[in-house]
């Protein structure tokens, strides 16, 4: 066990089409941009850092798997905002995986995909 590790502070999403992914995340989410370069873009979404990074290293893998997303990112909102977010996604023609649904785990959820088919979730505790 890695006892020295105390928290997850940084999430990096590896991407193929950096320009398309930058536009998606910039246009859809209100996060402060912390830095941008030719191979990445970093945001401040709250209690962690979130970055997009172009696949440039041998160990980065090749391309998304449309049949099995490699990551799921979850964004918390207030209960009444789940349906509001759904309408915004529909207006932007975002691919929906599952419309707003009340889950048995006391969450109202909405699942959708980014342009490289990573699974994104908007949820509220109910």
* Pairing of the two strands 32-37 and 40-44: antiparallel
pLDDT at 86: 98
In angstroms, what CA-CA distances link 17 with 13, 84, 123? 12, 28, 27
pLDDT at 68: 67
- Model pLDDT for residues 52-92, shown as the tens digit of each residue: 999 988 888 877 666 666 789 999 999 999 999 999 999 99
Q: Which residue has the tokens 């490289």?
A: 116
Distance (Å, whole) CA 121 – CA 104:
16
105 pLDDT exceeds 70? yes
**Are 98 and 110 a contacting pair, CB within 8 Å?**
yes
- Model pLDDT for residues 11-51, shown as the tens digit of each residue: 999 999 999 999 999 999 999 999 999 999 999 999 899 99
> What domains can be seen in the chain, in order of their start residue?
8-57 (3.10.180.10), 69-126 (3.10.180.10)
């Amino acid at each position: 066990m890695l006892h020295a590790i105390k928290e997850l502070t940084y999430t990096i999403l590896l991407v193929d089409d950096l320009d398309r992914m930058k536009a998606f995340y910039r246009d859809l989410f209100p996060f402060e941009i912390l830095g941008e370069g030719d191979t990445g873009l970093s945001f401040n979404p709250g209690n962690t850092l979130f970055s997009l990074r172009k696949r440039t290293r041998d160990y980065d893998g090749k391309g998304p798997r449309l049949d099995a997303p490699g990551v799921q990112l979850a964004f918390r909102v207030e209960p009444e905002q789940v349906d509001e977010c759904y309408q915004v996604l529909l207006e932007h023609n975002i691919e929906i995986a599952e419309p707003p649904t009340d889950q048995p785990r006391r969450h109202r959820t909405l699942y959708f995909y980014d342009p490289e088919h990573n699974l994104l979730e908007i949820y509220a505790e109910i």
